[in-house]
Amino acid sequence: MIQPASRIAGFAAAALVAGGLATASIPSPAGAAPQATGYLVGTGIGDMTGEAAEVGMMGYASLSQKTAGIQQRQRARAFIVADQASGKRVAIVNIDSQGTMQAVQQAVIKKLAAKFGSTYDDRNLLITATHTHAVPGGFSHYAMYNITVLGFQEKTFNAEVDGIVDAVTQANGNLKPGTVSLGRSQLTNASAQRSRPAFDKDPAADKANFPLGIDPAMTVMRLKQGGTDVGLISWFATHGTSMSNTNTLISGDNKGYAEYAWEHDREGVRYRDPSSPKFVAAFAQTNAGDMSPNLNLKPTDGPTKNEFDNTRIIGERQDAAAATAYNSATDIGSGVDYRMRYADMSKVTVAPQYTGDGQQHTTCPAALGTGFAAGSTEDGAALDFVHEGESNPFLAAIGGFVFNVSDQLKKCQAPKEIVLAVGTTKPYPWSPELLPVQLVRIGSLYLAALPGEATIVSGLRIRKTIAAAVGTSVDNVLIAGYSNAYAGYVATPEEYDVNDYEGGATHFGRWTLPAYQEEFAGLASAMKSGTPAAADDGTPRDLSDKQLNFQTGVVFDTTPGGVPFGTVKTQPDLTYQRGQTAKAEFWTGHPKNNLHRGGTFLEVQQQVNGQWVSVADDGDWSTIYRWARSSVADSIATITWAIPADTPPGTYRIVHYGDSKSLLGTITPFTGASRTFTVS
């Protein structure tokens, strides 16, 4: 979800300032041990945490929401499955990000080519995002996704790209003979239907697959090397919006928590310890377009009124359901295959068998409607004077003036009321239209990599289309949403007409979903027949040399009275009980000076036999690193540690790692340590 801007500064206002801006699963057979399938399996994980201060956050499009610390680090999790018989392989990378931007895909492919030649390319690499809304933005090359972030943020972009490349490199380096198995379960208390009026317009036959109005399917791929479990990928549909649009901490949101809980708590993974277990757990998205984790359909409401607790609880529920599927997983079958092509989604001629009305139709250049401007009120704030499902001629008139919306585009996008004509801007569109549409098969499982976010009924229709073409059950086809590029929503034509947020954010008009069905049908037929996919409609544009940044960088850092950087401003208490929160404040430098990718801004250390041993860092759920200015160039790092219930009694301290920038531009690392305190 890309939400409109906050009540004070909406996306439409930002555009003016800029001068122109699944079906219910069949239970799996109870678990015989997976049989050998002739695979090579590899896993890897990379840190891709972006700028932790003063960068606009991606997802809610609120100008006032900027990073100010870290709750969880962003990570890329890679899985390579190679078929030893055919030699074919696929690399699947799940990233803690709002979406996979095409610029990131392009940069990753270039770096992988430099490392591995033709082994990995845009055909067999699938990059999919968890859709967390709690990450720094500015990692696209298209204006629509950067405008509320005040432009392209190179350090955040590079961190994401390098983290993905690191994860794939690790996975490639530890390929070993292994097995892959597949399990399924149901999860009914981690999502809610946030667009009921639109869902209710879908045909009864479609809605019958979702009697609760949600997609409860939890699907898990379990990977082993020999007899050792090394990873899992879980697919489940719920938005990454447990953390609200007032949050300023980097977080993987509910799926990020589930990943951490499985890796850290179940498997004992310690990300910065090379001797720790290497298990990799990815919690990926499917057709989450109209699925909210806010179970009471209000921001930060459900199951509790606290966004941190909600993030944890919705993550724990996914973790538990994934464990059920994981433990019942059975042999996935053999073989690896893939098809991909670049389709110009702005001008697809859609055949009658996909449109539903027996007529041929065409898609349109991208445009966003008043439903988009209203936002999904269940997950984030909207403009006060715009409401889902209602016409707003005033806002449409403003959009028509700024973007010069043609009568032809209005007719093509009807009944959408256009606010932002992002596909007709010059010299190039504000959002990509030449998009990668990809189908990957591992054994019996087909993954439809969609460069957007499908509602559950849209996902069902694509899955049925693919299943019919390849001759399998619809349960063996999953939507891998937010993959390889990002171009908004995919609502059904019936949902589109309602003018809720999802329809208003469906870029290419009423026939967007049928166009994707047609594209995936072509890929599936080619895979079935063993023939190549249709030729690409073109080559995606490279906009890397056309990026602008309107955000002030770090000029220099100071401390009050010239005290050394890392000096403790506020010491922790002398004693704490387990369950309490220890806190220390340090005079610090700007986090943009050094992202500490692969490192940390903090450690909680325990004194063991006269040595200080790290027990937590800024990648742990129990810690929070907050950054704030105290004057023009002075800043404070506040570090808290919610002491876990199983913490051993002993002596502890909090350590801060930072970097300062001088007036001459020299960046100098420093370390500060608090006084000791006891935990009992």
| 352: Cα separation from own chain's centroid | 34
Residue 385 has a pLDDT of: 78
Residue 378 has a pLDDT of: 92
Tokens of 560: 């009050």
Give the mean pLDDT of 653-671. 98
Helix (H) or strand (E) holding 166: helix 154-173
Classify the phi-psi angles of 488: left when phi > 0, otherwise alpha if psi is within -120 to 50, otherwise beta.
left
Q: What is the pLDDT of residues 272-312, one digit of tens each?
A: 999 999 999 999 999 999 999 999 999 999 999 999 999 99
Phi, psi of 402 (to 5 degrees): -70, -40
Q: What is the pLDDT of residues 618-642, one digit of tens each?
A: 999 999 999 999 999 999 999 999 9
Among the ranges given (17-21, 346-350, 471-475), the one the predictor scored with the smallest mean pLDDT: 17-21
344, pLDDT greater than 90: yes
CA dist 75 and 270 (Å) reads 13
Tokens of 428: 């190039």
Residue with tokens 């919705």: 314
How many beta carbons lie within 10 A of that of residue 530, not counting itself? 7
Residue 2 has a pLDDT of: 61
Tokens of 562: 């010239």
Task: Output the 3-class SS for 513-577.
Answer: HHHHHHHHHHHHHHHHHCCCCCCCCCCCCCCCCCCCECCCCCCCCECHHHCCCCCEEECCCCEEC
Tokens of 157: 């972009």
10, pLDDT greater than 80: no
Residue 382 has a pLDDT of: 62
* Active-site residue set: 292
Residue 121 has a pLDDT of: 98
Give the mean pLDDT of 539-555. 95
Tokens of 380: 């984030």
Q: What is the pLDDT of residues 13-26, one digit of tens each?
A: 333 333 333 333 33
**Which residues lie closer than 8 Å to 48 by C-beta, 6 or more apart?**
74, 75, 76, 95, 96, 97, 159, 160, 161, 162, 163, 164, 597
Are 521 and 465 in contact by the 8 Å Cβ rule? The answer is: yes
95, pLDDT greater than 90: yes
Query: In the chain, pLDDT over 70 holds for what percent of residues?
Result: 94
498, pLDDT greater than 60: yes
Strand, coil or helix: what is 598?
Answer: coil
Residue 529 has a pLDDT of: 98
Buried b (16+ CB within 10 A) or exposed e, 586-614: bbbbbbbbbbbbbbbbbbbbbeeeeebee
11, pLDDT greater than 50: no
Strand, coil or helix: what is 260?
Answer: helix
DSSP string, 98-127: S---HHHHHHHHHHHHHHHTTSS-TTTEEE
Q: What is the pLDDT of residues 31-52, one digit of tens each?
A: 444 444 499 999 999 999 999 9
CA dist 48 and 584 (Å) reads 26
Are 442 and 334 in contact by the 8 Å Cβ rule? The answer is: no
Tokens of 282: 């990815």
Residue 623 has a pLDDT of: 98
CA dist 455 and 300 (Å) reads 22
Residue 12 has a pLDDT of: 39
Residue 384 has a pLDDT of: 73
Angle between helices 102-116 and 154-173 (to 10 degrees): 40
Residue 50 has a pLDDT of: 98
Phi, psi of 671 (to 5 degrees): -135, 140
Phi, psi of 562 (to 5 degrees): 75, 20
CA dist 114 and 132 (Å) reads 30
Residue 3 has a pLDDT of: 59
Give the mean pLDDT of 82-94. 97
Domains of the chain, with CATH numbers?
Answer: 11-28+36-343+433-529 (no CATH), 560-679 (2.60.40.2300)
Give the mean pLDDT of 106-121. 98
Which one is predicted more confidently, 12 or 496?
A: 496
Give the mean pLDDT of 422-444. 97
Are 231 and 280 in contact by the 8 Å Cβ rule? The answer is: yes
Are 84 and 145 in contact by the 8 Å Cβ rule? The answer is: no
Per-residue confidence band for 29, with pLDDT thresholds at 50, 70 and 90: very low
Please, what is the average pLDDT of the chain? 94
Would you mind telling me the total number of residues written for the chain in this entry? 680
439, pLDDT greater than 60: yes
Tokens of 206: 């479609």
Are 582 and 572 in contact by the 8 Å Cβ rule? The answer is: yes
Are 601 and 655 in contact by the 8 Å Cβ rule? The answer is: no
Residue 380 has a pLDDT of: 84
Q: What is the pLDDT of residues 196-228, one digit of tens each?
A: 999 999 999 999 999 999 999 999 999 999 999
Q: Which of 546, 567, 583, 525 is nearest to 673 (CA)?
A: 567
Query: In the chain, pLDDT over 90 holds for what percent of residues?
Result: 90
Are 65 and 101 in contact by the 8 Å Cβ rule? The answer is: no
Tokens of 529: 């027949």
Torsion of CA 400, 401, 406, 410, to 10 degrees: 10
Phi, psi of 179 (to 5 degrees): -130, 155
Give the mean pLDDT of 356-380. 94
Phi, psi of 508 (to 5 degrees): -100, 20
Per-residue confidence band for 401, with pLDDT thresholds at 50, 70 and 90: confident
